[in-house]
Amino acid sequence: KTYDELYRPQFHFSPEKNWMNDPDGLVYYDGEYHLFYQYNPNGNEWGYMHWGHAVSTDLVHWKNLPIAIYPDNNSTDKVKCTAWSGSAIVDKNNITGLQEGNYKTLLAFYTSRGCGQRLAYSNDKGRTWKKYAGNPIIPEAPGEETRDPKVFWYKPGNHWVLVLYRMPGGDKAKEGISIYNSTDLVHWTFESHVTGYYECPDLFSLPLDGDSTKMKWALLGGDGSYMLGDFDGKHFTPKSGKKVLDYGQNFYATQTWSNAPDGKRIQIAWMRESKYPGMPFTGQMSFPTELSLKSTPDGPRIVRTPVGSISSLYGKKMDKTDKNIIPGLKNNNLLKGIHSECFRITGVFDVKSSNMFGITVRKSRKDAGTEISYDVKRQVLTSIGSQMPLAPVNNKIKLDILVDRASIEIFANNGEKVITDNFTPAEKADDMELWTRGGEIMVDSLEVRELKSIWK
């Protein structure tokens, strides 16, 4: 059955069939979140990139739409002039003059591989797209690798900014992000370049601890790693070292929504290199997260939490104990008797007298399942080959875990540390276990929520 296969994500976006990679053109307009994505309509492997398209009103339930952007110059080549990654904005004041009816024009800035940065536009809320007659808007210099334009409005300077992954002069040592300015969205002037980044740049500001008088800028690369700093519209000045946004194996090509309601900064990523044996599709998106900037003992950090509309998927609350405080749990699986393939576990664990504890999911009498474990002495959380440093706060570790049919996302300590991983659990294995080794674990709270399919 469609969208019900063994490794088919039930609450993450995936294409019905064929290959998908990066999220593209994330923009909110007229009640809809648009999700475009790198898509190969010809098969289940990378190549022949088009922009696939889906929309959502809540960032959780997605409706598939026809392909939005096709390769340029009628190319049927696997690479040449195909539609690589980029971003989208709403042309609210019709600066481009491309508006035809009552809807604002949606503008998509994308890389036509080897054929420059290009503009496509839509007059019907993203349903159909035309190519701008003056393309390319930024031609590619010979011998250069240039891609993944992300465009946003810079209010203090009254101009737009475009950040672009670039290898100036084809020199690998200079690889990084170039910053361009424009006042008409089609003529772009090079301003500056920051080295040390690879692919899919994003640049935005966030209020520190929710205080809008303390805005800080973050410049992100493809793997989500970022530096915090100052931005004057033309130059980004780093004020921090490079920080990790995700410790998992399958988190890449991050992008945040343009024009999201209430100034929210919402991010999604492609779960790179994920495996889906025997499936008609390859690729899924991470679950959308809201970003915020929080002071930590190590300095300000970007924090990620699953968007609140996830609660629309809540099924049964599968808390057998119905107790919130279970002191001194020892060899006592509180998750015994709970069965699920797709669920959210939230828990607060006091690790004062524990050496190691963990949660094992998707297990059965025959299958060992997949272990998420915390080593109290080393202060390391491990899951599916990913490891991340994680210090208890007042002896407590807080976990928020999303388990889908082919992925596990772990948000630790209120989203300060995150692991995004793909896995291929055994069919029908739906037991789970909370365990402790060497010492007791104090469970302050524990809740399991069934998550319903978004495709039904």
212-241 positions binding ligand FRU, by CB under 6 A: 222
**By CB under 6 A, residue 199 contacts ligand FRU:** yes
* 202 among known catalytic residues: no
Q: Could you say which of 12, 104, 147, 362 contacts ligand FRU (CB under 6 A)?
A: 147
In terms of CB distance, is 21 or 75 closer to ligand FRU?
Answer: 21
**By CB under 6 A, residue 255 contacts ligand FRU:** no
Q: Could you say which of 72, 148, 350, 430 contacts ligand FRU (CB under 6 A)?
A: 148
For β-strands 63-69 and 83-91, DSSP reports them as unpaired
In terms of CB distance, is 199 or 400 closer to ligand FRU?
Answer: 199
Using alpha carbons, list the distances in angstroms from residue 144 to 117, 167, 220, 253. Answer: 12, 6, 21, 20
In terms of CB distance, is 253 or 419 closer to ligand FRU?
Answer: 253
Q: Which of 4, 22, 375, 431 is catalytic?
A: 22
Closest CA to 87 of 11, 162, 15, 31: 162
Q: Could you say which of 21, 112, 258, 386 contacts ligand FRU (CB under 6 A)?
A: 21
Q: Could you say which of 84, 152, 276, 411 contacts ligand FRU (CB under 6 A)?
A: 84
Question: What residues have CB less than 8 Å from 370, skipping those under 6 apart?
Answer: 360, 361, 362, 363, 383, 384, 408, 423, 425
**By CB under 6 A, residue 22 contacts ligand FRU:** yes
CA angle (403 as vertex; 260, 40 as ends), nearest 5: 60
Least separation, in Å, of the C-beta of 193 and ligand FRU? 17
Q: Could you say which of 253, 291, 408, 451 contacts ligand FRU (CB under 6 A)?
A: 253
The CA distance from 123 to 103, in Å, is 6
Least separation, in Å, of the C-beta of 213 and ligand FRU? 36
Closest CA to 19 of 43, 35, 3, 55: 43
Residue 393 carries which DSSP code? B
The CA distance from 71 to 83, in Å, is 5
**By CB under 6 A, residue 197 contacts ligand FRU:** no
Which residue is associated with the tokens 């500001």? 205
* 142: preceding bond cis by omega (within 30 degrees): no
Task: Please name every residue paired with 219 in a beta bridge, in sequence order, or none if there are none.
Answer: 203, 227
**By CB under 6 A, residue 200 contacts ligand FRU:** yes
Mask 43-72, x = binds ligand FRU (CB under 6 A)?
Answer: ------x-----------------------
Q: Could you say which of 85, 146, 284, 424 contacts ligand FRU (CB under 6 A)?
A: 85
Task: Give residue 127's identity as a one-letter amino acid code.
Answer: R
Residue numbers annotated as active site: 22
* Residues at the interface with ligand FRU (CB under 6 A): 21-22, 38, 49, 84-85, 111, 147-148, 199-200, 222, 253
